[in-house]
């Protein structure tokens, strides 16, 4: 098992709480009555597993590990190009045919093992090594050009230094400096009327607010 590095369930529970509070506020405005909003880490964790849970509850079969892929769509996963990993999402039969054409392997789309998504799910262990060998032969940028011209969803999997240097990340202004410091941090991931809220003050030093808080 691999842990998600961000505390996604903690943050997700807070988001659900905010959504619930906003709904309760609107309901109060409509009816004049307040209400109790409740959520938890467990409920949030279950909420993130809707697809897997739906599949399990329908057939009682435990899902198998698929690495960066998914159980029910093939191919929809990361592939290693000659200079790093990239995500490729041929999420339906039409996209798969276009992918095979872009890879100069149109015959794969007519192979009885791979003709439909259901076929590809069954024969995943045969298809993925073929695609992996093809992708390993060229760099990501070259594959991106080929796939984008045919409308195949794809994207490079960046290292952190590449993320920070990414033109869109820079244009969005997501990297912000802490007030009074050269320390850079990730800003709030939303904007209001096109403006991202800036950091207003740094975190307090140890004991800095003792007097105002404790008196």
How far is the C-alpha of 3 from the C-alpha of 103, rounded, in Å?
33
Out of 10, 83, 93, 182, the active site residue is 10
DSSP-based helix, strand, coil % in the chain, nearest 5: 45, 10, 45
Is residue 119 among the annotated active site residues? no
CA distance 70 to 115: 18
Nearest-angstrom CA–CA distance, 182 and 173:
15
Bond from prior residue into 179 cis (ω within 30 degrees of 0): no
Of 103, 150, 159, 157, nearest to 130 by C-alpha is 103
Between vectors from CA 196 to CA 191 and to CA 201, what angle results, nearest 5°? 135
Enzyme catalytic residues: 10
């Amino acid at each position: 098992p691999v842990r998600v590095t961000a505390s996604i369930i903690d943050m997700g529970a807070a988001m659900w709480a905010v959504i619930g509070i906003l709904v309760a506020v609107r309901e109060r405005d409509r009816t004049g009555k307040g209400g109790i909003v409740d959520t938890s880490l467990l409920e949030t964790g279950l909420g993130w597993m809707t697809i897997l849970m739906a599949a399990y509850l329908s057939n009682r079969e435990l899902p198998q590990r698929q690495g960066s892929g998914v159980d029910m769509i093939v191919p929809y996963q990361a592939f290693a190009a000659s200079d790093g990993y990239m995500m490729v999402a041929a999420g339906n039969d039409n996209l798969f045919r276009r992918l095979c054409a872009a890879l100069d392997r149109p015959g794969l789309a007519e192979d009885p093992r791979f003709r439909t998504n259901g076929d590809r799910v069954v024969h995943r262990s045969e298809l993925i090594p073929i695609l992996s060998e093809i992708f390993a032969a060229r760099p990501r940028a070259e594959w991106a050009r080929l796939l984008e011209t045919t409308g195949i969803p794809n994207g490079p999997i960046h290292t952190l230094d590449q993320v920070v240097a990414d033109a869109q990340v820079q244009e969005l202004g997501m990297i912000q400096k802490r007030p009074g410091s050269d320390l850079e941090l990730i800003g709030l991931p939303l904007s209001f009327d096109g403006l991202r809220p800036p950091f207003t003050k740094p975190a307090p030093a140890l004991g800095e607010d003792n007097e105002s808080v404790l008196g």
